[in-house]
Structure formats: C-alpha cells, structure tokens
C-alpha cells in the first residue's frame, strides 16, 4: 500500500535528491528502446524484449513531487514526442527543462529535408525522473493508473548507449575526416584534435563514428593499403575495432599514455567501457573492489542485463562466474544480489509503511547475530526512491543515519559497497562529487580511477554540470582547478574537456 509521501522538500535530514535541476547518470534497463532516429532514417534492429514506453503528456508540475531518481543511469532511453521547431536541435539524453543549456550541439545531419531530432524525455544521470515516475503528490495514496506517467512496475528504460547496435542515424561527415587525419596524418597523432572532437560526442554519435571509421578504413585498405592496423586479420568488422587499433598504434614502446587510455575509454562507449573496467578489476592478482562498485552499484535492471550480456559475449565467461571466483562469503552473495537485476522499477511508488518495516528489519539484521545476506536482500532490491524512504525512516526511528549504522556494523568491501548504494540513492550528485575528490586527495592521484569516473560521468552534460556545482560547494574550488592541480599534459587536457 502506498502512503502519503513526506512534504515536497524531501525527507528531513536528507538533501533533496534534485538539488540540481531535474536531470541521465549511471547510473542513470531488457526493454525495446524507441529508435534514435529522424524521419526518413531506418534504425538498426534492437535487442530487447520490452514493449515501447508510452509518451508522457500533461504531467503535473514538478514541484508537487518528492525527489525520485531513475536508478543508476546515465540517461534513460530517449522518447519521441513531436519535434522541435525547424532549425532547433535538441541533444538526445537531456530534458529541455533541466535548467542548464544543452552542451555542444549535434553535427547536423545531411540537409535533405528530414525533420529535426525530437525533444528527449529522458532524465539525467542519477536525477529525479521528473513528473512521471509514479510517486503521487502529497495527500494522495497513488494516482489513478493511466492518468499520467508510467504504470507502476513498468520497466525503467536502458541508459543511452546500452542497446547494442544503436547509433546516430546520420553519417559523421564532418567529424570523420578530423579523426582520420588526427590518427593517420603525416605529422603523427594530433591529440588536440582527437580530444576536442571525441570528448563532445554522445554514446550514439561515438558508435556511429566508430562504424564510419571502420568503413573508411576498409575502403582505403582495398584501394591504397595504407595502414598495417587496417588489416582484415587484425580488425573485426562486427565490432569496429579499427579506431581503437589506430589509437593503440601510437603507444610508446607498447605502453599507452593516460591520455590515449582516456581516448580509448571514450571510443569504447559506456557499455563496452563498463565491461572492460569490470574485466580489468577481476583479472590478475587481487580484485579492484572500487572498480566493481563504480560500475555495478545502483544500476537499473535494464542496464545490468545489458552489462551481463555484453560481458558474456565479449569475455566468453559470465560475469557471475568471474565474480564468484574472486569474491567469497557474504560479499559474494551481496554481489549476486546486485547483479541479479531484480530491483524494483523506478515506476513503483514509494510505500512508507513498507519503508518503516524495512528500517526495523535492517536494524534487526545488524544487531545481535548479524544476518548480512538478509540485510542485503532487504536493501539492495529497492528502487532509489524507496531507499530514500527507508533511510529517512531508519534515522527517524533510531536517531542514526543508515550510512552511519552501516559504517559501524560492516567492514571492508561490504561496508564500502553498501554505503555507496545508499549514498547514490539519497543524493547521486553529491556522491559523485565526493568520489571524484577521493581520487585526488592525499598523496598521489589515482589516475585510472579518476579517468574512469570522469569518462563515465561525462556522457551526461547535465549531470556533470550539477556535479561541478556541488563540488564547489563541498570543497571551495572548481573541479577544473582541482583536476589541473593534480594532472598534467594531454591527460589533464582530455579530463578538462570531458567536464566542460
């Protein structure tokens, strides 16, 4: 039963989850995503099983709703409403009522009279899904189904870039020559051109550029045979490896610089990059626990299923089996719950009665004879809105924040994972700002962790703007200046380009 939600300001003692405008994150799900197309273009086949998501019209004002995130997303799948006025471009993945100006505009498709991109309905990484995700306004016990929004239980769409084979529906006629010349020009690699171009593209543009580069490479191979990397024995035309191979060809004595590693991370796109981060965390000696948490904690069901499928397809072994071989005991069981893709969907309304009961159950599981797996089952399968309700009820009943109780009762990897899960649900923007600072504070900068976190966040400019604003409030300096003080050279330049 859904009960009256607390006042629109959110839960006492917790920051409103949208202390920035409604916005896709990581965080910000299998479902058929509607094609990323304009009229006149055919979209590649989709790999999913859910019906198309309905449009959202005549929604109530945002102020009537308490904050609710989409679960761990970069951005939900784009929806397609009537297109904007002629000549206006709206960047997919970012709502027009975000309060931030959209980032760099799309490279315009060929002028053939096609319609413009429609305005996106998706929300930013880790932000409230705005008006339509099923939480009733104060004083109601749930809006009548079908009055607005997604019916309770409807699946959260996949984040932009998490559907295999989906790409921008036009040729990268302007960007492709720049990238080709930057990698194969007579003066060697032009990292400035690569950084300026690649850092501003969204996941679907990156996928299209990678495919077009592959096609260009194969055509030139047939006519000119210019590149050793452009060889049918070294490239896979199904995975478009040629762009990555050409970047790797500029390694010095076989070692990639951090700037080239960052370029590769961007070219991989968010889904493949997640899989590569997971694989690097699980191979070799020791498990890189923070990398597992960064990728897996708080993800939506659709994104989690996409990650598992892509991991299996590229690594020829299941993510579950590799996690089981590296983890043990309660930590292993915790990650089996995390990757099970059984979280409540974002469209399920908050149930305050259940939140009160869950707060009591969590307290019981942490005291006396601890039941860590029971604790994880109670907490980790809830959507972000319900986790916020549980956190509020826990503090209200026991005069202690849930994250503080976790810190006291758990240790090691379980403590870090559970705290991150709660922190991301309660305030994703602040959690991400804190995580960026953690990579740079103390002696030495953890370059790979910083790179992965910046690349992951940069896919959504709206969310990145919000993180930068919060970073200033938390640490008294801009994120840009912080990065510039800890990095140098082309590595510094590409990180700065990603956050701007």
The CATH code of the domain that includes 322 is 1.10.220.10
Contact between residue 34 and residue 77 where contact means Cβ atoms under 8 Å apart: yes
- Let me know whether 41 and 151 are in one domain: yes
How many C-beta atoms surround the C-beta of residue 81 within 10 A?
13
pLDDT at 170: 84
- Predicted confidence (pLDDT) per residue in 95-123, tens digit: 333 333 333 333 444 444 333 333 333 34
- Helices (DSSP H) in 341-380: which residue ranges? 352-366, 372-379
pLDDT tens digits, 218-231: 888 776 654 555 54
* More confident site: 376 or 236: 376
Q: For residue 349, give every residue at least 6 positions away whose Cβ sits within 8 Å of its Cβ, in sequence order, or none.
A: 2, 134, 135, 136, 142, 152, 385
Q: Note if the pTM is more than 0.75.
A: no
Name the token pair of 63. 């102020």
pLDDT at 51: 42
Mean pLDDT for 251-270 is: 95
Examine the pLDDT at 438 and tell me if it is beyond 90: yes
Q: Chain-wide mean pLDDT for the chain?
A: 76
- Is 240 found in the same domain as 358? no
| DSSP reduced 3-state for 255 | strand
Do the domain assignments include residue 260?
no
Name the percent of the chain lying above pLDDT 90: 58
Q: Residues 215, 125: one domain?
A: no
- Name the residue with higher pLDDT: 75 or 489: 489
Q: What are the phi and psi torsion angles at 255 (to 5°)?
A: -115, 125
pLDDT at 398 over 90: yes
For residue 253, pLDDT beyond 90:
no
Distance CA 65, CA 123 (A): 15
Token readout for 45 is 């086949």
Asked if residue 17 has pLDDT above 60, the reply is no
Whether the predicted pLDDT of 87 surpasses 60: no
pLDDT score, position 232: 42
Helices (H), 95-202: 175-184, 191-198
User: Last residue of a domain, which of 159, 191, 214?
Assistant: 159
Residue 137 lies inside a defined structural domain of this protein: yes
Give the model's confidence band at 370: pLDDT under 50 very low, under 70 low, under 90 confident, else very high. Answer: confident
Q: Please indicate whether residue 8 or residue 303 has the higher confidence score (pLDDT).
A: 303
Is 34 in the same domain as 71?
Answer: yes
Cα distance between residue 218 and residue 113, in whole Å: 30
Question: 69 CB contacts (<8 Å, ≥6 apart)?
Answer: 17, 25, 28, 126, 127, 128, 129, 346, 384, 385, 425, 428
Is residue 10 very low, low, confident or very high in pLDDT (cuts 50, 70, 90)? Answer: low
Which residue has better confidence, 327 or 149? 327
Same domain, 315 and 457: no
Residue after which a domain boundary falls, among 312, 338, 364: 338
Within a domain: residue 22?
yes
Same domain, 18 and 131: yes
Provide the domain limits for residue 311.
267-299+301-338
Position 167 in a domain? no
For residues 417 and 436, state if they share a domain.
Answer: no
Q: Please count the other Cβ atoms lying within 10 Å of the Cβ belonging to residue 193.
A: 15
Write out pLDDT tens, residues 30-52. 434 444 443 333 444 444 444 44
Res. 306: pLDDT tops 90: yes
Please give the backbone phi and psi of residue 27, each rounded to the nearest 5 degrees, phi first: -85, 0
Most confident of 98-107, 124-133, 214-223, 437-446: 437-446
The verdict on residue 345 lying in a domain is no
Number of structural domains in the chain: 5
Among 59-63, 197-201, 308-312, 430-434, whose mean pLDDT is lowest? Answer: 59-63
Q: Which two tokens stand for residue 242?
A: 């040629």
Confirm if 33 and 125 have CB atoms less than 8 A apart: no
Which tens digit of pLDDT belongs to each residue from 336-350?
999 999 999 999 999
Together in a domain, 190 and 308: no
Assess if residue 168 is contained within a domain: no
Higher pLDDT, 410 or 227: 410
Question: Quick check: is 169 in a domain?
Answer: no
Nearest to 234 by CA among 226, 220, 244: 244
Distance CA 15, CA 429 (A): 10
47 and 110 part of one domain? yes
Q: What is the pLDDT of residue 256?
A: 94
Residues ≥6 apart with Cβ < 8 Å to 245 = 229, 230, 234, 235
Instruction: Tell which of 101, 132, 159 closes a domain.
Output: 159
Q: What confidence tier does 152 reach under pLDDT thresholds 50, 70, 90? A: low
CB 398 within 8 A of CB 16: no
- More confidently predicted of 124 and 324: 324
Plot region of 254 (φ>0 → left; ψ -120 to 50 → alpha; else → beta): left
Under a CB-based contact definition with an 8 Å cutoff, are residues 65 and 135 in contact?
yes
Task: Kindly state whether residues 13 and 100 are assigned to the same domain.
Answer: yes
Q: Determine the pLDDT at residue 481.
A: 98
Looking at the structure, do residues 147 and 46 belong to the same domain, yes or no? yes
Give percent above pLDDT 70 in the chain.
Answer: 66
Cα(46)–Cα(35) distance, rounded to whole angstroms? 8
Question: What pLDDT is attached to residue 364?
Answer: 95
Q: In the prediction, which pLDDT does 61 show?
A: 39
CA atoms within 13 A on the CB side of 296: 29
The answer, yes or no, to whether residue 274 has pLDDT greater than 60, is yes
Average pLDDT over residues 45-73: 41
Task: Judge whether residue 73 has pLDDT over 90.
Answer: no
Q: What's the confidence (pLDDT) of residue 229?
A: 52
Are residues 139 and 79 located together in one domain of the fold?
yes
Domain annotation covers residue 259? no
Q: Which of 4-13, 71-80, 123-132, 269-278 has the highest mean pLDDT?
A: 269-278
Confidence of residue 172 (pLDDT cuts 50, 70, 90): confident
Residue 396 in this model has a pLDDT that exceeds 90: yes
């Amino acid at each position: 039963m859904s009960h009256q939600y607390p006042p629109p300001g959110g839960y006492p003692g917790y920051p409103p989850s949208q202390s920035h405008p409604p916005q896709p994150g990581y965080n910000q799900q299998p479902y058929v995503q509607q094609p990323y197309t304009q009229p006149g273009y055919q979209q590649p086949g989709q790999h999913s099983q859910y019906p198309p998501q309905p449009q959202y019209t005549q929604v109530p004002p945002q102020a009537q709703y308490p904050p609710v995130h989409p679960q761990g997303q970069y951005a939900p799948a784009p929806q397609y409403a009537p297109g904007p006025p002629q000549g206006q471009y709206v960047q997919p993945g970012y709502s027009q009522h975000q309060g931030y100006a959209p980032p760099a505009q799309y490279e315009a498709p060929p002028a053939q009279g096609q319609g413009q991109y429609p305005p996106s309905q998706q929300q930013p990484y880790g932000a409230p899904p705005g008006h339509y995700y099923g939480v009733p306004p104060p004083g109601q016990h749930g809006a009548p189904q079908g009055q607005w929004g997604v019916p309770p239980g409807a699946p959260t769409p996949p984040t932009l870039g998490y559907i295999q084979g989906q790409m921008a529906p036009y040729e990268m006629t302007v960007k492709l020559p720049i990238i080709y010349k930057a990698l194969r020009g007579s003066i060697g690699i032009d990292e400035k051109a690569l950084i300026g171009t690649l850092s501003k593209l969204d996941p679907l543009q990156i996928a299209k550029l990678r495919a077009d580069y592959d096609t260009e490479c194969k055509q030139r191979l047939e006519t000119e045979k210019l590149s050793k990397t452009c060889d049918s024995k070294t490239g896979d035309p199904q995975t478009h490896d040629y762009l990555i191979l050409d970047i790797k060809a500029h390694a010095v004595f076989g070692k990639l610089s951090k700037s080239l590693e960052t370029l590769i991370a961007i070219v991989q796109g968010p889904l493949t990059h997640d899989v590569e981060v997971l694989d690097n965390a699980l191979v070799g000696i020791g498990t890189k626990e923070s990398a597992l948490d960064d990728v897996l904690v708080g993800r939506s069901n659709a994104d989690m299923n996409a990650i598992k499928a892509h991991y299996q397809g590229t690594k020829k072994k299941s993510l579950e089996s590799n996690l089981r071989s590296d983890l043990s005991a309660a930590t292993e069981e915790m990650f089996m719950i995390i990757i099970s893709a059984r979280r409540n969907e974002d469209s399920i309304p908050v149930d305050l009665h259940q939140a009160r009961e869950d707060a009591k159950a969590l307290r019981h599981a942490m005291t006396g004879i601890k039941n860590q797996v029971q604790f994880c089952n109670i907490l980790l399968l809830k959507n972000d809105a319900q986790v916020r309700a549980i956190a509020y009820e826990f503090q209200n009943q026991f005069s202690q924040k849930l994250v503080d109780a976790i810190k006291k009762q758990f240790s090691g990897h379980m403590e870090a994972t559970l705290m991150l899960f709660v922190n991301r649900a309660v305030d994703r923007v602040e959690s991400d700002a804190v995580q960026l600072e953690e990579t740079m504070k103390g002696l030495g900068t953890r370059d790979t962790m910083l790179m992965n976190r910046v690349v992951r966040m940069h896919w959504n400019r709206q969310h990145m703007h919000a993180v930068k604003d919060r970073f200033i409030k938390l640490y008294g300096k801009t994120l840009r200046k912080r990065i510039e003080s800890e990095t140098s050279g082309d590595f510094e330049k590409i990180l700065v380009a990603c956050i701007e």
